[in-house]
Structure 1
Amino acid sequence: MMELRHLRYFCAAAEELNLTRAAQKLFIAQPPLTRQIKQLEDEIGATLFIREARGLKLTPAGRYFLDHARQILDKVAATVAGTRQVASHGKQVFGIGFVPSIFYGQLPRLVRRLRQNKNVEIVLKEMKTGEQVEALKAGHIDIGFGRLYIDDSEVEQELLFNERIIAALPAEHPLATGPVSLSQLANEPLVVYPSGSGPNFADIMQGLFANQALKPNPVQQVNDVQTALALVASDLGYTLVPEQVKRVTREDVVFRAITGSDATSPVLCSRRREPPNAVMRLANLILSELVSQKQQDPSLL
């Protein structure tokens, strides 16, 4: 019968790709490790490693099993840690993952209301949407807020609302007096965000200009909104941000609507596909109220 030790032994062997080093890492002798790996392969009915002269090589089945074995071990570790925390504090831990640009809007209201329940301890973790999905599957967080759609059978995503994209400009910029068009912005220096393998905010920015046959003028790449706004304040250029970012009050930065464009960025909630517990039901109820308020009054951020 497969046990957790089989998963730990397998992961060590898969990470080292050498049974001798893996055995040393596990503080056991090599022959028992070899037997445990063979037992695991027999139990699964699949070859996980190809034995080569220089060491081990994962088979396609082995690579697949490694991904899921890590998730199982992470889930067990998170469960143990959470259980200890509940035992020591008498509270249920509720982990929330978020991308920074979400935290300027309604997320703080959700956190404040959840914290009114004295039996719940809220843990906030800043992470990208893809990282949130992996953290959900591993049990490190319970709910995530991001802007990218991730296709994963173990995680469900709910569109809360679409948020307008606006321009952030230096306060003394000639275009800072009113709404601006993309054609006006195209020749101005632009502070951009890094692109990646999947759809992201950088792609949305590029798409805005491409849809109007315009080419932006990027001058600096940054990883987060706060750094982008700091560079805007330094008069390095302008940037594009989701509307709720205008909650950030800086005397040296102004936020302006973009005319001739209906570009938006989604605000998504990610959860594990499982029956909700009491805290999740409360979080869902609060979220429903906040989204309903925004639908009734779109000016709410």
Structure 2
Amino acid sequence: MELRHLRYFQVLAQTLNFTRAAERLHIAQPPLSRQIQQLEDELGVMLLERGRPLKLTDAGRFFHEHSTALLEQLNKVCDNTRRIGLGEKTWLGIGFAPSTLYGVLPELIRRLRSGEPLELELGLSEMTTLQQVQALKAGRIDIGFGRIRIDDPAIVQTVLTEDRLVAALPAGHPLLAGPISLRELAREPFVLYPGNPRPSYADHVIALFESYGVSIHVAQWTNELQTAIGLVGAGIGVTLVPASVQLLHRDDIGFTPLLEDNATSPIILSRRVGDVSPGLNHCLRMIDELLPPAS
């Protein structure tokens, strides 16, 4: 399938007339008919009811809607590519762990999208810290926000802040009565995330308990924070989450603080060594305004 097939079909679906479509496309009618027939042959379905008047089939209406959206996205990509190539716009790829969205990251994204003083095209990708490091080295993103420290000579990591951890428990759980210790919490079945890839935030949680000489029983592994919270609400177990997650209001769960002062999780900024690109430098200045690096 070629792009011209999509473009020809889009115009034909708009006009529902081969003659008018051919005129708009500046081609003769027979080549247009052949191109549409080739498209139908490749898809293996009829897109048009060739009567009077010409009509789209159900498959044709579906294909028109989704191919139109695809072409609009392609046109946007091509336009932004030209603008970036001409220096009119700067592309910045951002990777983020889901839990970082409950902190300062949404405000950072809003400011970056404002276009002042530098117009940016943002590429946002949800990924773990390990995936961020791989994406940074491959050039797919320019900056990452995660939760774990990774030793890699090609990557610079900076701790932006330390989030206090809190226990998330099912609504009505007795431990919601007040601050609890990790030893108390370790007696409960755990919902732990993410299960893959490793190392991850899950390893940070396990190591935190082990530093107090206790281990946890993992009743359920999951890969997503939201899924873990949902399973806690269902009574499968408890979990540890950054305190900023308390902004997520649910009736079926509650949060309680921990007694241990070192029960924290860092928000870690990752970037390539030696990267001095304008987009990244602009982003780093914004971060300094919003959240000075932790001492």
Aligned to 2:5: none
Matched, 1:212 2:196: no
Matched, 1:152 2:147: no
Aligned to 2:280: 280
SS class of match (1:246):
helix
Structure-2 change in CA distance of 1:186 and 1:149 (3 Å):
closer
Q: Give the conservation status (yes or no) of the 8 Å contact 2:91–2:120.
A: yes
Q: Give the conservation status (yes or no) of the 8 Å contact 2:144–2:270.
A: yes
How far residue 199 of structure 1 moved from its aligned partner, in angstroms, is 4.1
Map Cα deviations across residues 184-222 of structure 1 (whole Å, 9 max, x no partner). 222222111256786432222222322333232321111
- The gaps in structure 2 that reach 5 residues or longer are 1-75
Question: How many residues matched?
Answer: 215
TM-score by length of 1: 0.65
Structure-2 change in CA distance of 1:275 and 1:216 (3 Å):
closer
SS class of match (2:174):
coil
2 CA distance for matches of 1:234 and 1:131?
Answer: 30
Structure-2 change in CA distance of 1:194 and 1:141 (3 Å):
closer
Decide which of 58, 82, 90 is 1:87's aligned counterpart.
82
Amino acid at match of 1:168: A
Aligned to 1:39: none
Mapping of residues 117-132 of structure 1, within 5 Å:
117=115, 119-132=119-132
- The gaps in structure 1 that reach 5 residues or longer are 1-80, 297-301
How far residue 264 of structure 1 moved from its aligned partner, in angstroms, is 1.6
Structure-2 change in CA distance of 1:206 and 1:99 (3 Å):
same
Q: Give the conservation status (yes or no) of the 8 Å contact 2:194–2:225.
A: no
Structure-2 change in CA distance of 1:195 and 1:284 (3 Å):
same
Matched, 1:189 2:197: no
SS class of match (1:130):
helix
2 CA distance for matches of 1:295 and 1:269?
Answer: 11
1 CA distance for matches of 2:202 and 2:275?
Answer: 35
Q: Give the conservation status (yes or no) of the 8 Å contact 2:196–2:223.
A: no
Map Cα deviations across residues 238-291 of structure 1 (whole Å, 9 max, x no partner). 111122222211121111111135222221111122342322222111111222
Matched, 1:260 2:260: yes
**Identity between Structure 1 and Structure 2 (%):** 42
2 CA distance for matches of 1:198 and 1:233?
Answer: 25
1 CA distance for matches of 2:157 and 2:134?
Answer: 13
Q: Give the conservation status (yes or no) of the 8 Å contact 2:161–2:266.
A: yes
